[in-house]
Structures are given as structure tokens and as C-alpha cells.
Amino acid sequence: MKKVFKMMVLITLVSFLVLPRVGLAEETEDVTEIEGITVTAPKEKEKVVLKPSSIIINVEEFKMPGTSQNVMDVLKTRAIIDFRGGSDLFVDRDPIYMRGFYGKRFIVALDGLSIQTTHHGSDDVDYNQISFPQIESIEIIPGPHSPLYPGKSIGGVINVKTKGLKRHETMKPDLKVTTSYKSYNTQNHSMDINGGIGSFVYGLWYQKYHTDGYLRNREADLDIVTGRFGYILPSDGYIYLTASYSDSDYEEYVINDPARSDYDPGYPDTPKVWRSYEPWQKPSMNKKDDSYRLAYKQPTPIGLWTLGAYYHHQHHTGKKWDYIDKKDKAKGIERISSRDEKWREWGGRLQDEIQLFEDHLITVGFDMDNLYRNLMHSAWDRPESRGKYQKIIGMYGIYIQDKWNILPRLTMTPGLRYENADVYFRNWSERSQTYKNPLIQEDFIKKNHNQVVPKFFTTYELDDLSDVLRDTSISAGVSKIWTPISYCII
């Protein structure tokens, strides 16, 4: 499968980089006739476009109080998104639900490519790794009706779209510097540089963020640097590579109970709950992320081809003070490692959009994701296997979708997706020193799941029926729900 994918990428790049602009419609100026008056001014983008099939937020036009720190600040303004984070001052774990579904039941994608880690809990997506100045729009697709995304998109899809490349008339770069300060000593400083030389385009963005937090022991620091280098192709296409690195240090909040002698009235009450830490333990976490993304877009006589590929690696560590011997606390305390995990993911997507006649937009494509996990000192694995990467999920999908405008007010979108997933389950129990399934003498068991999943969504606009029904429509979706990914697998 890896060889097939590499050959597809190579053939696509070689073919379309040399393909002349044949049979493509020339770009024309938008012209509108209004009672003899010709209007040629470009139409302004709407801040938020509401459609039955999706919600599109144009980030540059979207205004909100204060300065947006990251993509989460925009997402949590939508009713379809339920923000459940303890604080929005720093996003350390998945803080949102979508239509009542948690992170393993909806997809977060960047330019159509899924973003997730192989953590078994609620660390599926690190929203800090999305470079905010590079975002053009955010598309929110409710429900499981799109065949373009994997089966875990039961609640829907959040697809973050980055800005395309544009030519620069001069070699002088565009520089933008922003800074903000608010309560709890929260500081956000960023620098954005964009420029180009001829058809070559480059961009560099840096963010420095700090907050003391409002909970006890909740200070956080974040540094992100993102660079992009691309080339605008002669046929209105482009190809670019984006590299990003982030380093975040943050503290875990601790117990602050008014009934205890170590209570600090300067912070909100935080009673003892599951996974709570004592104030003297001073737990802290660190995340280091590096990611690389390749994007390629090429209009051709046989459709609009897009190719995307990504690689992401994260190292997550934690430290805290703890007793040297819990049975003999007189021995004192020491600083120990509470977490040491590495996650790695890579994958890609190849897609073609074909305008067939005037009423059919056909989309066909192939995507794949491979997820690995490395538990450095986990008590779950054998000592000799710790520090090694273990594949957890390998999956690929093939899909086709037809957006059919049957009538001016009636749109029907049927689709079909074939998905194949290899899921690796832990079979060895280090604590009991036995195999969970004694018939299979292997530490991990690979199980294959595959399914053909039909999708269907239709919309009828009611504007013509009455003035009262203007901007009103009715929609219906019937799709098969299928996913082999459960909460405990990753």
C-alpha cells in the first residue's frame, strides 16, 4: 500500500507540473447588471455563511471581542460547538464536543487532512499547532453525511482551510506585529511576515503566549513558529511546504479546598476530584510538536486535482513531586517523571473535483492515515518494548461524491466510501504477566475492519414559495454510521 501511494504521488506531480493550461476557462471579472448600471466591484466575503450542509466562517472577516489567540476562540462562538474546557486561557486537552459527541466521534482536519494523535484519552487534537494567521476559513459540517472523511465523523467535521498562495508585486515583504495584554497576566505577542520573489512565495509566523491562569498552579507558556515556502504554477495552481514547531509548558491545577489548612483564598475553590494533585506536588507538563505538510493544487482539463501529505510528531512529558516511599513518608520527596509519551502520525490525500455538465460536481479521492504511539515508561508494556514505536491504527479510504443540482432549488448529494482499517489491540498484560488471549502469543493483535458506507444528503430551498420563507430550506440526510475506532483503542 505504501508503494502504491508513493507511485500515485509521483505520477500526479510529474504529470501536472508539466501539463499546459489547456481547456481551462479564463478568469473573468464578475459583472452584475442592475437596471442599466454595470457593477464590477468584487463581492465582499460574508463573515459567516450558513448552509444546511455546512457552516463556513471567514476568519479574516469574523470579528469578536478581544484578540483571537487560536482557532478555539472562533469555534466556541458557534452553537454547534460545546466548549467544556476548565479555562480558555490555555488549551491543553480536547475542550470541545460537537453536537454532543466527544473528540473521537468527530473529525478535525487541516485542508482536508485529519489531525489526531494516538492518545487513548482526551488528547486527540492539539489545537495550538494550527497556525492562526494562516487560516482563511473554517468549515463545519454537521452530521455523518460526507464520504470525504473517515467513519469516526459521526458528529461531523471541522475542516480548517489555510490561505492559498498569492503573487507579490514587489520584493518588499508584508510585516504584521500584534500584541495584547489582559487579566491574569495573559500576554499574546505575534509576528507575521509574508513575501515573494516572482512565482516563489514564503511566509513566517511566530507566537509567544503566557498566562498565569486563574486556577491555583495553572501558569502556561507557549511558543510556536511556522514557516511556509511555495511556488505558484503557471496554470493557476500551486505547491507549498509548511513546517511548524511548538513548545508548550503548562502546570496542572491543584486542590484548593477551603476546609484544608493549605487553602489559598487568592484562587477559586478546586475540591479534590479524580486525578487531583496536592499543592506541594506542583505538577507540570511539556509538549513539543513538529509537523510538516505538503499541499498541491492543479486545475486540469480533467478536473481540479489536489494532493496533501503530512507528518506529525509530539513528545509529551510531565513531572511532579512525590514521596520517595509512600509507606515511609519520612524519607522525603523527590521530583519524578509522571508522563513520557511520544506520538507519531503520517498520511495523505489525493482528490479530483470534476464539473460534469452544469449540474454535477463529481469528487473522487483516496486518503490514508497511520498512527503510532511510544509509551516510554508505561507499566502496560514489557520493559524491553518501552521506547519503541507501536503502530496503533493504519487506515485508508476510497470515496466518490456527486453534488447534483436537480432543480434550481433542489440539491442532492449522494456518496459512497470504502474504508479499510487495521487496529492493533494490546494483548500482553505486564501486571499479570500473561496474554489476554493465550491462543495468540503476541503482544499486540492486529484486527482488520472494512466496510462500504453509503451517504446521502438533500436540500430544498423554499425561497420561491413565499416571502416569509426567504432564506429558508429543508434538508434530510440518510447515511450509514460505521467506525472501528473506540475510546480505549487510541
**pLDDT greater at residue 164 or residue 319:** 319
- pLDDT bracket for residue 114 (50, 70, 90): confident
pLDDT at 27 over 60: no
Q: For residues 310 and 317, is the Cβ–Cβ distance under 8 A?
A: no
Give how far Cα 329 sits from Cα of 25, 279, 334, Å. 78, 16, 11
Report the amino acid identity of residue 434.
Answer: T
Please compute the mean of the pLDDT values over residues 453-480 and round it to a whole number: 90
**pLDDT greater at residue 253 or residue 18:** 253
Q: What is the pLDDT of residue 26?
A: 38
Name the grid cell of 88.
480558555
- Least confident piece of the model among 29-43, 421-435, 437-451: 29-43
Using the Cα atoms of residue 223, residue 229, residue 232 and residue 233 in order, give the sign of their dihedral.
negative
Maximum CA extent, the chain: 92
Please compute the mean of the pLDDT values over residues 262-267 and round it to a whole number: 92
**pLDDT greater at residue 326 or residue 41:** 326
Domains and CATH numbers, the chain: 171-477 (2.40.170.20)
Q: For residues 13 and 292, is the Cβ–Cβ distance under 8 A?
A: no
Please compute the mean of the pLDDT values over residues 412-420 and round it to a whole number: 96
The C-alpha cell 507499566 sits at 379
Q: What is the pLDDT of residue 118?
A: 66
Name the grid cell of 228.
511556509
Please compute the mean of the pLDDT values over residues 59-76 and round it to a whole number: 80
The C-alpha cell 487553602 sits at 263
Q: What is the pLDDT of residue 29?
A: 45
pLDDT at 11 over 60: no
Give the list of residues 6+ apart from residue 469 with CB closer than 8 angstroms, or none.
462, 463
Instruction: Compute how many other C-beta atoms are within 10 angstroms of the C-beta atom of residue 381.
Output: 21
Give the list of residues 6+ apart from residue 128 with CB closer than 8 angstroms, or none.
70, 91, 222, 224, 246, 248, 287, 289
Q: Residues 360-371: pLDDT tens digits? A: 999 999 999 999
Q: What is the pLDDT of residue 348?
A: 96
Q: What is the pLDDT of residue 229?
A: 96
Q: What is the pLDDT of residue 24?
A: 38
- pLDDT bracket for residue 12 (50, 70, 90): very low
Distance CA 215, CA 217 (A): 6
Distance CA 296, CA 11 (A): 13
| Whole-number percent of the chain with pLDDT over 90 | 49
Distance CA 216, CA 258 (A): 13
**pLDDT greater at residue 230 or residue 485:** 230
Pairing of strands 107-110, 156-162: parallel
- pLDDT bracket for residue 281 (50, 70, 90): very high
pTM: 0.84
Query: Partners of 321 in the beta sheet?
Result: 335
Name the grid cell of 333.
520527596
Q: Residues 163-221: pLDDT tens digits? A: 888 888 888 899 999 999 989 999 999 999 999 998 999 999 999 999 999 889 999 99
Using the Cα atoms of residue 95, residue 178, residue 210 and residue 249 in order, give the sign of their dihedral.
positive
pLDDT at 312 over 90: yes
Using the 8-state DSSP alphabet, how is residue 26 labeled? P
- pLDDT bracket for residue 459 (50, 70, 90): very high
For residue 260, the number of C-alpha atoms closer than 13 Å in the C-beta half-sphere is 13
Distance CA 286, CA 250 (A): 6
Q: What is the pLDDT of residue 47?
A: 83
Q: Residues 94-105: pLDDT tens digits? A: 788 888 887 788
- Least confident piece of the model among 11-15, 280-284, 295-299, 409-413: 11-15
The C-alpha cell 482488520 sits at 448
- Could you tell me if residue 43 is left (phi over 0), alpha (psi between -120 and 50 degrees) or otherwise beta? beta
